[in-house]
Amino acid sequence: AQSVTQLDSQVPVFEEAPVELRCNYSSSVSVYLFWYVQYPNQGLQLLLKYLSGSTLVKGINGFEAEFNKSQTSFHLRKPSVHISDTAEYFCAVSLTSGTYKYIFGTGTRLKVLA
């Protein structure tokens, strides 16, 4: 079975500061990895994904993540955050075949402070 851990439930950070949101996963087989963002009263929006290839993945809105197989991590980073990045962020994995259903982490609320 697969599992995803997001240890930080809330992360406050000042505007223009860098941020890292942590994600660790557990799986005995290969998985695909994803980061989603949910803004208030909206659906889940894909930020970026790792399927294969380069371990550094760039996504929308200046976010990037690095897949680290040895540490089973997929941390999300942004070098300089904006007020508009305030949202909840979800890390997820899926198997590489079958239903492609997601296993999500519990989410991290990013609060960007002025």
**Contact positions toward other proteins, by CB under 8 A?**
4, 36, 41-46, 49, 90, 92, 98-107
Helix (H) or strand (E) run with residue 41 in it: none
Q: What's the angle, vertex CA 43, arms to CA 6 and CA 29, rounded to 5?
A: 45
How far CA 87 is from CA of 60, 76, 84, 101, 108, in Å, comes to: 14, 14, 8, 23, 8
**What is the nearest approach in angstroms of other proteins to the Cβ of residue 48?**
11
**What is the nearest approach in angstroms of other proteins to the Cβ of residue 12?**
18
Closer Cβ to other proteins, 13 or 92, answer by number: 92
**What is the nearest approach in angstroms of other proteins to the Cβ of residue 104?**
4
Closer Cβ to other proteins, 81 or 93, answer by number: 93
Q: What's the angle, vertex CA 90, arms to CA 84 and CA 92, rounded to 5?
A: 145
The answer to whether 93 touches 76, Cβ cutoff 8 Å, is no
Closer Cβ to other proteins, 74 or 81, answer by number: 74
Closer Cβ to other proteins, 67 or 107, answer by number: 107
**What is the nearest approach in angstroms of other proteins to the Cβ of residue 13?**
21
What single-letter amino acid sits at 108? T
